[in-house]
Structure 1
Amino acid sequence: MQKITPFLWFEDNAEEAANFYVSVFKNSRVVSISHYGEAGPRPAGTVMTVSFVLDGEEFVALNGGPEFTFSPAISFVVNCTTQEEVDELWAKLSAGGKEVQCGWLEDRYGLSWQIVPTVLTEMLNDADPAKANRVMQAMLQMVKIDIEGLRRAYGNG
């Protein structure tokens, strides 16, 4: 068991969301589902929590009701090594959601994700500030991150 586990509050579709996320990421599975009992506060027998693993990372989803919703102030960063991986995760996670900017998207459940190629961080941390600045300027114009576009900006000098 990992020491820190993200705990996600859903209105009433935690199981649906967990199954969706498990379908998106490789090496993922639903671990367990617990149900509310007679003590409530939700109807007895309805799903209370869903424990699941996404590519080795543990999560818990709660059907907590409408009191709280997600905000972009919290997001999950997914580090990708190829454009194909960026494209695949972007397509799956943004379906029914909203594409934002700079690699950010909001999925159909309102959860924010950053789909980030690892090369972006490497370029932004380059010792040459001109290169890093050009990459930042290029990235700020993108919705989904385009690795080749970053490389062109990085190489222009």
Structure 2
Amino acid sequence: MSTMEPFLMFQKGEAEEAMTFYTGLFADGEVLTLVHTPEGTVQQAVFTVAGQRVRCFDSPVPHAWDFTPGVSLFVTCDSREELEKLWAALSEGGTPMMPLDDYGFGPFGFTADRYGVSWQLALELPPEWR
């Protein structure tokens, strides 16, 4: 059976720092695999947050692109408290694109975090979105 996982490619040697930040935000956050290059950057890492496996590494090759809001990690939170905690942490030092508010489908926020990764956070989804 095929599998699919988000893969985050960091350019500034921030993969391990970001992974540690993300796994610390979620109750089920865990680093599963972490392999360093001889230079100390992340060659390959796998972690889980919110029940999702995510891969990441520090790109050894500079490139002209970075993360884009066109692709984001969508998190449905179990409580308003969790939503507000995640929003505060992920938007701090980042770029909020849609501040935490009610946009007609319940509390929701859309932000790029301090590493440029985009996150959509919702308290609950309307039935037609499930």
Q: Please report the TM-score for the alignment, with normalisation by the length of structure 2.
A: 0.79
Aligned: 1:59 with 2:54: yes
1:84-114 C-alpha deviation (Å, 9 max, x unpaired): 1211110111111122116101100001111
Q: 2:113 aligns with which of 107, 111, 114?
A: 107
Larger % of helix: which?
1
Letter in 2 for 1:55: A
Aligned: 1:87 with 2:101: no
1:50-94 C-alpha deviation (Å, 9 max, x unpaired): 211113211111101441310000001110232212111101111
Deviation at 1:117, TM superposition (A): 1.6
Pairing of 1:22-61 with structure 2 (within 5 A): 22-36=23-37, 44-61=39-56
Q: 1:121 aligns with which of 106, 122, 126?
A: 126
Please list every run of 5 or more consecutive structure 1 residues that lacks an aligned counterpart in the other structure.
38-43, 126-157
Deviation at 1:22, TM superposition (A): 0.4
Runs of 4+ in 1 over 6 A off after TM superposition: none
Please list every run of 5 or more consecutive structure 2 residues that lacks an aligned counterpart in the other structure.
99-107
CA RMSD for the aligned pairs?
1.9
Q: 2:95 aligns with which of 89, 95, 98?
A: 98
Contact 1:24–1:93 (8 Å) recurs in 2: no
Q: What is the aligned residue count? A: 115
Deviation at 1:45, TM superposition (A): 4.5
Of the two, which has the highest radius of gyration? 1
Aligned: 1:78 with 2:75: yes
Could you tell me how far apart the structure 1 residues matched to 2:83 and 2:18 are?
Answer: 21
Contact 2:6–2:53 (8 Å) recurs in 1: yes
The sequence identity of aligned pairs, in percent, is 37
Could you tell me how far apart the structure 2 residues matched to 1:50 and 1:71 are?
Answer: 21
Q: Which sits farther off after the overlay, 16-25 or 77-86?
A: 77-86
